[in-house]
Amino acid sequence: MKKITIISLFFFAALSSKAQNRIENISNAFDKLLNDDQTKHAVASLCVLDANTGKTLYAHNEQIGLATASTLKTITAATAFTVLGKDFQYQTTLSYSGNILTDGTLNGNLIIVGSGDPTLGSWRYANTENAVLTIWVNAIKASGIKKINGAIIGDDSVFGTQRTPEGWIWQDIGNYYGAGTSGLTWRENQFDIKLKPGSSTDDEVTILKTVPEMPYLQMVNELKTGSRGSGDNAYAFLPPYRNTAYLRGSWGMGINKSGISAALPDPAFDCAFRLQDTLKRLGIATNKSATTARLMMADNQSIPNATKKLATISSPTLSEMVYWFLKKSINLYGETLLKTIAQKEGKEVTTSNGAAFEINYWANKGIDKSALNIIDGSGLSPGNRITTMAMASVLYQIQKETWFPDYYKAIPEYNGMKLKSGTINDVSAFAGYHTDATGNKYVVVININNYSGGSIRQKIYKVLDELK
C-alpha cells in the first residue's frame, strides 16, 4: 500500500510539473509574440482557464476590452440557447386576405408573414428556395386560387425597418457577410454576381450574370482587372432598400472563383417577387406588383388582415441553426438571434435591446458588466469591446448546460483545437476549448487588435501549440 501511495504521489507530482511547464511555455511563447514586429503597435490579450475548475492558469491583458470580430458569436449562441432553448423554431406563414370567388379569383392579397427565420430558402437545409416555393404553390393550388386581384405582400414588420446594427461599416453592408436581418429573410439575404476578369490590368471586369436574375437591380460596374495572383478585392456597395449596386475594387486574372456574393437590399421584396414570378410562369397572374409591409407603411397604406392560412413552414431547430452559425460564421444568424432574444423577453425588437439583455444576463452570472460592451450579435462591428476574461468566463460556465453538447459540436476546429475564429480589419482572435495529450482541459481566448502586416494566424498558432 505504501508503495502504491508513493508511486501515486510521484505520478501526480509529474503531472503537476508537466502542467506547470506547459503554462511557463505558453507564457514564453506569448512573450515572443508580444515582441514580434507585427504586434509592435498592437494590443494582445490571452486568457487560459482550467476547464474543470475555472481557475486562471495564464492571463495577460485579460481585463482590457478588445474588438472581438466573430468570437462574439460564442456569447450570442450561448445566450440564444439559454433564452430560446435548443428546440426553438421560427414559423413563416402564407395566408390570404379577402375571399376566393367561384371561378378561382382571389379578390385580395397573398401575404407571406415572416417571423425572422434566417434559414428560409437557404441551401443549407431541406427548405431550399425551390422547396419553399413548391410548398407555397401547392397550397395556393389546393385552395382553388387561379387568379389574384391583388398583390403578393412580404410582411417583414416583425423586426422593424432597421436591418443593419449601428457600427457596421459601409464596405461590409453590401456584401453577403454584411447581409442584415429582416422580418422576412430569404435565401440568407444574398445573391451571386458572376465575374470575368479582362486580359490585362487596363481592362474592366465583365459581369456575366447574377444568380438568380435580379431584373429590379441596376449594376454600376467600376471593377478593374487585377494583376495575376491578386485575387478577390471586389466589393458590392449596395445600401439596404435601394436598387443600385456599385461594384468597386479589382478581380484578379487567373482567379479560381466564379464571382462574389452580395447582400439582398430588400429580402422581403425579393421573396414576394420570386413567388409572384413563379405563379406567373404557372399561369396564376396577379394584377398588382409585389410589395412589402415596410413599403406599404411608408406609403401610409394599411396591411390587409389575413383571413385564411394556406401553409406554415417551420425552421430547423436552434441547435441546427447554431451549428451553421458557428461553423460558417454566418453574421445574419447572429443579428437575427439577438433581435429574437429581445422579442422573447417582451422588449421592442431591436439589436440594442437584445444586446442589453445579453449584457445583463451575463452580469447576473458574475461577469463584470463593464467587460461586455456589445453592439451586435455577430462581431462584425469594430465597436464591440469585450475582455478575454469575460469571454472565457462565459465559455467556462456553459459547460454544465444541457444544450452544451450541441454547442460544442458547432465549434469549428482550428490548429487541432475546438476554436471559434474572428477576423476583421487588423483583428485576429480565437475562443474555445482544448484537451491536451494528458487529458487536461482548457478554456482559451486569445485576441490581437491593431496588428500590422499580413495574417498573424500562424504566429498565434505557435502560442496555442504550447497547450497541446
pLDDT one-digit tens code per residue, 287-316:
999 999 999 999 999 999 998 999 999 999
How confident is residue 1, by pLDDT bands cut at 50, 70 and 90? low
Q: How far is CA 69 from the centre of its chain?
A: 11
Instruction: Judge if 208 and 341 occupy the same domain.
Output: no
Q: What are phi and psi of 407, to 5 degrees?
A: -65, -50
Residue 13 in this model has a pLDDT that exceeds 80: no
pLDDT digits (tens, 9 = 90+) for 328-359: 999 999 999 999 999 999 999 999 999 999 99
**CA-wise closest residue to 297 among 147, 465, 153, 163:** 153
Tell me the mean pLDDT in the region 189-200. Answer: 97
One domain for residues 373 and 282: no
User: What would the mean pLDDT of 210-220 be, rounded to a whole number?
Assistant: 97
pLDDT of residue 20: 73
Amino acid at 289: S
As given in the structure block, the three cell numbers for residue 436 are 491536451
Q: Is residue 3 predicted with pLDDT exceeding 60? A: no
Same-domain check for residues 67 and 157: no
No. of helices (H) and no. of strands (E), the chain: 12, 24
Q: What pLDDT shows up at residue 4? A: 53
Give the cell for residue 143: 385552395
263 with 336, same domain? no
Are residue 95 and residue 47 in the same domain, yes or no? no
Q: What cell does 219 get?
A: 449594376
Confidence at residue 108, expressed as pLDDT on a 0 to 100 scale? 97
Question: Which residues have CB under 8 Å from 367's CB, separation 6+?
Answer: 390, 393, 394
> Under a CB-based contact definition with an 8 Å cutoff, are residues 399 and 51 in contact?
yes
pLDDT at 226: 97
Does residue 71 sit in the same domain as residue 181? no
- The pLDDT assigned to 22 comes to 85
CB 49, CB 442: distance < 8 Å: yes
DSSP state of 71: G
The reported pLDDT for the residue numbered 14 is 47
Mean pLDDT of 42-70: 98
Query: Same domain for 327 and 309?
Result: no
Rounded to the nearest integer, the mean pLDDT of the chain is: 95
Task: For residue range 269-286, list pLDDT tens digits in order.
Answer: 999 999 999 999 999 999
Per the model's pLDDT, the better-predicted residue between 167 and 442 turns out to be: 442
Q: Does any domain span residue 416?
A: yes
Which has the closest alpha carbon to 73: 437, 249, 333?
A: 333
End-to-end CA distance of the chain: 34
Give the span between the Cα atoms of 332 and 99, in whole angstroms.
37
Asked whether residue 150 falls in the same domain as residue 179, the answer is yes
Is the model's pTM score more than 0.85?
Answer: yes
Asked whether the predicted pLDDT for residue 221 surpasses 60, the reply is: yes
Cβ burial 363-391 (10 Å sphere, 16+ → b, else e):
eeeebeeebbbbbbbbbbbbebbbbbbbb
Sign, CA dihedral 377-378-382-387, equals positive
Whether the CB-CB separation of 446 and 414 falls below 8 Å is answered with no
Residue with cell 503531472: 15
399 located within any domain: yes
Q: What is the CATH number of the domain that holds 427?
A: 3.40.710.10
Q: Is the pLDDT of residue 9 over 50?
A: no
Same structural domain, 152 and 288:
yes
Residues 97, 165: Cα–Cα separation, whole Å: 33
CATH number for the domain spanning 129: value is 3.50.80.20
pLDDT above 60 (res 6): no
Spatial CA neighbour of 112 closest among 130, 125, 97: 97
CA distance 72 to 379: 5
Read off the pLDDT of residues 97-114 as tens digits, 9 standing for 90 and up. Answer: 999 999 999 999 999 999
Mean pLDDT (whole number) for 433-458? 96
Over residues 449-464, the pLDDT tens digits come to 999 999 999 999 999 9
Is 3 inside any structural domain? no
Q: How many domains does the chain divide into?
A: 2
Average pLDDT, stretch 400-409? 98
**What's the confidence (pLDDT) of residue 10?**
45
Q: What percent of the chain has pLDDT over 70?
A: 96
pLDDT value at residue 17: 57
Domain endpoint, select from 316, 347, 362: 316
The domain of 287 spans 89-316
What is the enclosing helix (H) or strand (E) of 263? strand 259-263
Banded model confidence at residue 16, pLDDT cuts 50, 70, 90: low
Residues 339 and 266 in one domain: no
Distances (CA, A) of 141 to 100, 105, 109, 130, 311: 12, 12, 15, 16, 12
CA–CA gap between residue 250 and residue 245 (Å, rounded) = 16
**Nearest by Cα to 442 from 413, 421, 422, 418:** 418
Residue with cell 397604406: 301
Question: Where does a domain end: 269, 287, 316?
Answer: 316
CA dist 452 and 291 (Å) reads: 47
Calpha distance 309→94 (Å, rounded):
6
pLDDT at position 12 over 50 = no
Burial class of residue 401 in the structure, from the number of CB atoms within 10 Å of its CB (0-12 exposed, 13-18 middle, 19+ buried): middle
Question: Which three three-digit cell numbers place residue 234?
Answer: 471586389
pLDDT tier for residue 410 given thresholds of 50, 70 and 90: very high
| Closest C-alpha to 251, from 232, 237, 236 | 232
Q: Cis link prior to 316 (omega < 30° from 0)?
A: no
Task: Using alpha carbons, list the distances in angstroms from residue 125 to 114, 130, 328, 406, 437.
Answer: 18, 12, 14, 17, 36
